[in-house]
Amino acid sequence: MSAPNKHLILSKVDVEVLRLAYDYDGLSSDLFLKAMFPKPSARSYGYTRISRLAQSGLLNRTRLPSLTGIGSGQSFFTLGREGRKVMASLWDIPRTDLIRKETPISILFVAHHLFICTIRLNITQATQPPNSGAEIIEWRTERQLRAQAIKGNRQRHANHILIPDAYFTLAAPSGQHASFCLEADMGTLSRRRWAEKLSLYNKSEHRAILVVVPNEKRDRELVELTLEVAKKSHIDTTRFWYANIQHLSASHILSQPVWTVAGVGPTTLLPHVSTNSSLSFSSTLKTAPPTQDHIRLPGPMENNKP
């Protein structure tokens, strides 16, 4: 890695890039550009800026393996040593309080991580003008959920603990809010394992589990499996909402009927946040509005600290 550039002056956009790298546990170059530099005319500048942050030691860059087996993969960026110093200073906390996240190595782990990040980013952008008007007031990653589960569980191993890929809470413009578990399915989990997971969720306190799949075929398979398991185990199928990632653009993911509730049919996500009492709503939660020159990022750092 190149020596840090001590003379690099950080802009607000640079700081947001660093915060995004930490909050998402790393992103590919394409997702960084989608999040921070969505206009085609800004992509070249955006990539140059991200590269400069990497050259200065503020970001770590890893070349990912190709997901298709052809050519080289994208660059994967995580918060670097110098970036950790910047964020610790910004949040006025010791650097040791910043959780270190190792760069994923397995190609399947990388694909799954970026799959989750894509969903999260689409939901985030769906909450920004001129879209839904909703707001993400909490987002917990699988890493955070696993650490919490292990800490609160006396078992020495976490293999038998139900841990979603993410857990988040949406607030509607009315002020009501609802929480969701997210399962990002890459089509690799067997029917038996999925049946076990459905039963575990049915015994849990979670009322809405969003399952995102890579294609229509997998979507139909899991909806049918859910109904089959329900006949044998009497699970509540209305807890499980399925969607194809190809239909979950920022303009559709919250407000369009792209989700299929097992045994019910197509539905939209956002109206349930403001009208469906089955999702355990609480009273209005007031949060500070984001500044205009920052992208709004979900998660535990909404108040500028981790």
Q: How long, in residues, is the chain?
A: 306
Residue 2: which region, alpha, beta or left (left: phi > 0; alpha: psi -120 to 50)?
Answer: beta
Over residues 41-59, the pLDDT tens digits come to 999 999 999 999 999 999 9
- Mean pLDDT calculated for residue range 82-86: 92
Residue 295 pLDDT > 70, yes or no?
no
Beta-carbon contacts of residue 139 (< 8 Å; ≥ 6 apart) = 120, 166, 167, 168, 169, 298, 299, 300
Over residues 120-170, the pLDDT tens digits come to 999 999 998 777 778 999 999 998 898 887 665 544 444 567 899 999 999
260, amino acid identity: T
Q: Give dist(CA 239, CA 267) in Å, integer.
A: 13
Task: Starting at the earlier edge strand, list the strands of the sheet with 259-261.
Answer: 135-141, 166-171, 177-184, 209-213, 240-244, 259-261, 265-267
Q: Give dist(CA 13, CA 33) in Å, integer.
A: 12
CB 279 within 8 A of CB 178: yes
Alpha helices in 92-240 (DSSP H): 107-126, 142-152, 191-203, 216-233
Give the best-scoring range by mean pLDDT among 154-158, 257-261, 274-278: 257-261
**Domain limits of the chain?**
1-103, 104-306
Helix axes 12-23, 81-91, angle to 10 degrees: 100
Q: Does the N-terminal peptide bond of residue 130 adopt cis geometry, omega within 30 degrees of 0? A: yes
Q: Which residue has the tokens 């799954």?
A: 112
Q: Which fold has domain 1-103?
A: Arc Repressor Mutant, subunit A (1.10.10)
CA angle 230, 236, 238 (to 5 degrees): 110
Q: Give dist(CA 269, CA 274) in Å, integer.
A: 10
pTM of the entire predicted model? 0.82
Residue 244 pLDDT > 50, yes or no?
yes
Q: Give dist(CA 145, CA 163) in Å, integer.
A: 7
Residue 89: which region, alpha, beta or left (left: phi > 0; alpha: psi -120 to 50)?
Answer: alpha
Q: For residue 205, what are its two tokens?
A: 């306190």
Task: Starting at the earlier edge strand, list the strands of the sheet with 75-79.
Answer: 27-28, 75-79, 59-63
- The mean of the pLDDT values for the chain is 81
